[in-house]
Amino acid sequence: MSATLDTAELAEAGPRQDRPRRARPGTWRYALRRDWQLYSLAVLPFAFFVVFRYVPMLGNVIAFRRYEPGGSLFGESWVGLRYVRMFLNDPSFWNVFTNTLILGGLTLLFCFPLPIVLALLLNEVRHRKLKRFLQSVSYLPHFLSVVIVAGLVMQLLAIDGPVNQIVKALGGEPAAFIQKPEWFRTIFVSSEVWQTVGWGTILYLAALTTIDDQLYEAARMDGAGRWRQIWHVTLPGIRPTAITLLILNIGTFMTIGFEKVLLLYNPLTYPTADVITTFLYRMGVESSNLSYAAAIGLFEALVGVVLIVSANLISRRAVGTSLW
Amino acid sequence: MSTDRTRGYRVFQGINAVILTGVVIVTLYPFVNIIARSFSEERYIVGGQVNLIPRGFNVATYKLVVSDPMFWTNYRNTVVYTVLATAIAMVLTTCYAYVLSKKHLRGRTFLIWVAVFTMIFSGGLIPNYVLINSLGLTNTIWSVVLPNAISVFNLLVMKTFFEGLPRDLEEAAAIDGLNTYGVLWRIVLPLSKAVIATMILFYAVSFWNSWFTAFLYLNEGDMFPVTIYLRNLIAGATGAEAAGAGIAEASAAAANIQAVTIMLTVLPILAVYPFVQRYFVSGVMLGAVKG
């Protein structure tokens, strides 16, 4: 806040003491005198945002500067686009970039529509208690740490785990799924679905309850069957919710689930599992090429912003729903 | 919607029941399996014979894990981190949300944008890592409890809730001589027990479950939260298997210990889950009113 802040004056002024002859309403001075206690409550949280959110944003300049461990937060000297050129010419970068797009795309493809389907199905359950039970069960995985989920995945897919028991029962050879690059995407996406689908239904179920019953009556009058009612009444009813969530999902497209990738992958599965964030984690934190990793991270964040802004723009133009 | 009794609809209901039963089974199966494994004897696990029911029931592995002092140290760390981080988060979030809920406040829009913008754009992993290092927080408890002290989503939920409180009450209290702090502490907070409880739950669960900040910034074993303890078990297992040789014994023993550690880590969540779940749901709905 760049207000002209007269501390001595502020200290004098008691709460809610308006002195209009010295400060006119509508000026900063007036606002500060009247609400200084409120502003004082905002100081610590504001400092939190500045230090832990905005300083790192500025800290991205090390993508264009040479950073030395232990040196200045913002690097030592300008190197221009050196690190950007470095990653653009790095074949491993293009590999992780492709992996990110594929994993993100698959996750979006399954984790976005499935909650809608599940919500529609749950909505057809007439028995109240049963419905509540079903919801409770389906929300449960959402409350688990990603470490636990990774642990469960390892256990299920272990050589002696249930999945291999089924494989054996069907006459197949047990496989070490977790070490096969060709299985990684399936494993990742299905565990993501397992964990998020139930929770994802919450907002849709809420949206469904707000749809006016008269619309269904009217549709029935017009001779619409069950399916046509869903098509013409239910789906349009939850469309704003769906679009909002779609935009949000697109916004997190690039970083989605990277913690789980970090927990589940291993050098054998790098070809399909390694994503931008895990790559820059290894580059930056493990190998201390912090400037190089920051350049990649900045690129990743910019792609994310472009995605969310354009999704927002498209949806505002096309269907009139947008986040801002 | 009134129910139609058409034949097609009844068929649909049947199919729906089958699908939803499938969903329940798929969701719960991993839990049942992990419980069964944690109580089974190793040789049955290695033989791939443990499914829904423990084979060779025993609690030996539980005793083994529980007797590891590091497990308890890490478990206690998780409790300490969760409590401290939640306390800090609640103070900061409540203060800021209260300020943001005052519509007459000059600069309010700016203060809101300061928070909301961080949802769209963030500094990223590396600058954050550099920052924490530069501040000298690495290997201290602060590196775990400070960087995620405010969740913007929670902030907006609280702000929306505060905006819904009757203004007259606060004004009356102000006229009776309470200053802003007094109004917040004696009038607003007592009226906000529901949302405060929900926010505490949101924060506590997320701090209880978090692992990555600790993984990044803590180096010493006796400072780890229990999630890192578990993560290292898992990583150890993949490491051994990735090496290729001697999978059988090494990873099987690890599998048993993993199962038990997963059980012990997830237990608090499972224990409180039935009681707190509905608060989460209402909290999410509240947050969804105004994104």
Domain boundaries, chain A: 1-41, 44-80, 91-318
Name the residue facing A57 among B1, B45, B123 (closest C-beta).
B123
- Is the Cβ–Cβ distance between B101 and B162 less than 8 Å? yes
- Closest to A200 (Cα-Cα) out of A107, A294, A273: A107
Distance (Å, whole) CA A125 – CA B19: 12
- Is the Cβ–Cβ distance between A68 and A45 less than 8 Å? no
Contacts B110 to A, Cβ<8 Å: 1
What was the ipTM of the complex prediction? 0.87
> Cβ separation of A143 and B48 shorter than 8 Å?
no
Residues in CB range of A20: below 8 A, 6 or more apart: A30
Distance (Å, whole) CA A100 – CA A95: 9
Contacts A16 to B, Cβ<8 Å: 174
Contacts B1 to A, Cβ<8 Å: 213, 216, 229
Neighbours of A98 (CB within 10 A): 12
Length of chain B: 291
The Cα-based distances of A220 to A194, B2, B200 in angstroms read: 36, 10, 46
List the beta bridge partners of residue A281. none
Return the number of CB contacts < 8 Å for A and B: 281
Distance (Å, whole) CA A71 – CA B133: 10
Return the structure tokens found at B248.
């059988």
The Cα-based distances of B68 to A40, A320, B63, B72 in angstroms read: 47, 58, 9, 7
Residue A84 near chain B (CB below 8 Å): no
Distance (Å, whole) CA B253 – CA B41: 10
Contacts B133 to A, Cβ<8 Å: 69
pLDDT score at B289: 54
Angstroms from B231 CA to nearest CA on chain A:
6
Distance (Å, whole) CA A83 – CA B134: 22
pLDDT of chain A along its 324 residues, tens only? 444 444 444 444 445 555 445 667 778 888 888 888 999 999 999 999 999 999 999 999 999 988 887 777 788 888 888 889 989 999 999 999 999 999 999 999 999 999 999 999 998 888 889 999 999 999 999 999 999 999 999 888 888 788 888 888 888 888 888 888 899 999 999 999 999 999 999 889 988 888 888 888 888 888 887 788 888 888 988 988 898 888 888 877 887 788 999 999 888 889 999 999 999 999 988 888 899 999 999 999 888 888 888 888 988 888 777 777
Interface of B with A in 168-207 (CB under 8 A): 174, 179-181, 184, 205
In DSSP notation, B239-254 reads: HHHHH-TTHHHHHHHH
Distance (Å, whole) CA B113 – CA B134: 27
Name the residue facing A45 among B1, B95, B211 (closest C-beta).
B95
Angstroms from A187 CA to nearest CA on chain B:
14
Name the residue facing A143 among B1, B146, B273 (closest C-beta).
B273
Residue B101 near chain A (CB below 8 Å): no
Looking at 3.50.50.60, 1.10.3720.10, 1.10.10.60, 3.20.20.140, the CATH number of the domain A91-318 comes to 1.10.3720.10
Angstroms from B135 CA to nearest CA on chain A:
9
> Cβ separation of A168 and B234 shorter than 8 Å?
no
pLDDT score at A130: 92
Chain B, nearest residue to A75 by Cα: B130
pLDDT tens digit string along B56-71? 788 888 888 888 889 9
- Which of B117, B130, B267 best probes binding to A when mutated, by most A CB atoms within 10 angstroms? B130
Contacts B47 to A, Cβ<8 Å: 160
> Cβ separation of B129 and A147 shorter than 8 Å?
no
Distance (Å, whole) CA A130 – CA A294: 50
Contacts B93 to A, Cβ<8 Å: 45
